[in-house]
Amino acid sequence: MKQFNVPSGYRSTLISGIKNRRKEQDKLKKDFTPTLLNLGPLQIYLARHFGFCYGVENAIEIAFRTIDENPGKNIFLLSEMIHNPQVNADLQQRGVKFLQDTYGRQLIPFEDLTGNDVVIIPAFGTTLEIETLLKAKGIPTEKYDTTCPFVEKVWNRSEQIARKGYSIIVHGKPKHEETRATFSHASSHTPTVVVNDMEEAVELARYITGEKPAEAFYTAFEGRYSQGFSIEKDMERIGVVNQTTQLASDTQAISDYLKQVFIEKYELSPANISDRFADTRDTLCYATNDNQTAVTAMLETPADLAIIIGGYNSSNSSHLVELCESRLPAYFIDAADKLISRETILHRNWRTKEQLLVNGYLPQKEPLRILMTSGASCPDAVVESVIRQLASFYGVEDRIQP
């Protein structure tokens, strides 16, 4: 796989050494057991796969190269480059300005842009409407486009099934940058609707089957469907694609459920399912799949708690927390300073978005066993800093070997 040139401050000799050893031992990536850092009274089990993925490293490399190649120019980002506070803060420190926040709210009017300005498209991609607007101003969007290739893969898959006459259901968080971009690309080819979770998929099915009146759909799914969408005509043939950082099991469950709805409604047999339901295959990125599988395997290890490190807006990080907290106490942090002491942690509730001070999060026992992973946009250096902070509470920092 390509090696990217990202700032050295994001790298970690400790973590790189661990990852390289695991690659050598398991070149086919079939062993998903965690790596044990045995520090005596503290035992940390690192997930087999975690941290920066291909798309994130690609985006970071392009962004920092763009800054170096355009001295004196105004450089803008459409929104957060990735969902990591350190990377976004570093870019802002280098003079990059954000045009929108992560929810698409305008921070700097597009009217203020000129053809001499540089605009970087983040890893999540952007909508066709914004691309058109920027090109109309003479801004070459393709030159500084960091859209993840796995996001583009979903767009291509959507276009392929649209050409075959299917409408598209996008499984994604409606306000997420990537979902907004995928919705825009998909709906340019075919009628499209977004569902956030299984509950919404079940609700959508009630309109598809006629259990609920069609007119009520437009209120229930307001802002989630494409222009001119007809719940009665446009949901006769469908395919399901997803935001690439969703839980694989959730997308599969939604797809399987809707397929069954269509089998029953149209009395389909295995031979003619494709008449109504497209085989879109899984559109999750490899890193999301690997990280989720690694966490599932890690959870088989007896432990006292889990710590998940990642940006608080990071969808893939939140799903790792979701997986962990189903099995044991799990704490979501974005940096080592959230480990305030051996007694207190500042933890983020991924559901409510609240930050909570939790006391007594480290049980008084030795050895203490902690499961640890990080999201795809979290630098390895941050993971190492968390490990060192924990080690300092037990006076065993000197046992950490690169």
Q: Is residue 168 part of a domain?
A: yes
Q: Is residue 26 part of a domain?
A: yes
Q: Is residue 372 part of a domain?
A: yes
Residues 244 and 291 in one domain: no
Last residue of a domain, one of 250, 275, 300: 275
Write out the chain's pLDDT in tens, 402 residues.
Answer: 567 888 999 999 999 999 999 999 998 888 999 999 999 999 999 999 999 888 899 999 999 999 999 999 999 999 988 888 899 999 999 999 999 998 889 999 999 999 999 999 999 999 999 999 999 999 988 889 999 998 999 999 999 999 999 999 999 999 999 999 999 999 999 999 999 999 999 999 999 999 999 999 999 999 999 999 999 999 999 999 998 888 888 888 999 999 999 999 999 998 899 999 997 766 667 777 889 999 999 999 999 999 999 999 888 899 999 999 999 999 999 999 999 999 999 999 999 999 999 999 999 999 999 999 999 899 999 999 999 999 999 999 999 987
Residues 215 and 199 in one domain: yes
pLDDT at position 80 is 87
Q: Is residue 229 part of a domain?
A: yes
Residues 295 and 383 in one domain: yes
CATH for 297? 3.40.1010.20
Residues 160 and 89 in one domain: no
pLDDT at position 1 is 58
Q: Is residue 317 part of a domain?
A: yes
Count other Cβ atoms within 10 Å, centred on residue 240.
25
Residues 127 and 160 in one domain: no
> Do the Cβ atoms of 287 and 54 come closer than 8 Å?
yes
Last residue of a domain, one of 256, 275, 294: 275
pLDDT at position 281 is 67
pLDDT at position 365 is 94
Residues 318 and 383 in one domain: yes
Residues 271 and 156 in one domain: yes
Residues 161 and 237 in one domain: yes
Locate tokens 């690309």: which residue? 185
HEC-encoded secondary structure of 313-354: CCHHHHHHHHHHHCCCCEEEECCHHHECCCCEEEEECCCCCC
CA distance 250 to 197: 7
Q: Is residue 2 part of a domain?
A: no
Q: Is residue 281 part of a domain?
A: no
pLDDT at position 141 is 85
CA distance 53 to 82: 11
Tokens of 312: 């608080």
CATH for 126? 3.40.50.11270
Residues linked to residue 100 through DSSP beta bridges, in sequence order: 106
200-207: long-range contacts, CB 8 A cutoff, minimum separation 24: 201/169, 201/171, 201/254, 201/257, 201/258, 202/257, 204/169, 204/235, 204/258, 205/257, 205/258, 205/261, 207/231, 207/235
CA distance 183 to 169: 9
**Structural domain span for residue 258:** 149-275
CA distance 16 to 368: 24
Q: How many angstroms separate the Cα of 170 from the Cα of each of 27, 114, 186?
A: 34, 34, 9
pLDDT at position 282 is 61
pLDDT at position 228 is 97
pLDDT at position 246 is 84
Residues 184 and 93 in one domain: no
Residues 156 and 268 in one domain: yes
Catalytic residues: 178
HEC-encoded secondary structure of the chain: CCCCCCCHHHCCHHHHHHHHHHHHHCCCCCCCCCEEEECCCEEEEECCCCCCCHHHHHHHHHHHHHHHHCCCCCEEECCCCCCCHHHHHHHHHCCCEECECCCCCECCCHHHCCCCCEEEECCCCCCHHHHHHHHHCCCCHHHHECCCHHHHHHHHHHHHHHHCCCEEEEECCCCCHHHHHHHHHHHCCCCEEEECCHHHHHHHHHHHCCCCCHHHHHHHCCCCECCCCCCCCCCCCEEEEECCCCCHHHHHHHHHHHHHHHHHHHCCCCCCHHHCECCCCCCCCHHHHHHHHHHHHHCCCCCCEEEEECCCCCHHHHHHHHHHHCCCCEEEECCHHHECCCCEEEEECCCCCCEEEEECCCCCCCCEEEEEEECCCCCHHHHHHHHHHHHHHCCCHHHCCC
Locate tokens 């007809």: which residue? 230
Residues 130 and 31 in one domain: no
pLDDT at position 279 is 79
CA distance 245 to 171: 10
Residues linked to residue 75 through DSSP beta bridges, in sequence order: 118
Last residue of a domain, one of 251, 275, 299: 275
Count other Cβ atoms within 10 Å, centred on residue 385.
17
Tokens of 297: 């395997």
Q: Is residue 280 part of a domain?
A: no
Residues 296 and 379 in one domain: yes
**Is 190 buried (19+), middle (13-18) or exposed (0-12) by CB count in 10 A?**
buried
Structurally, how many domains does the chain consist of? 3
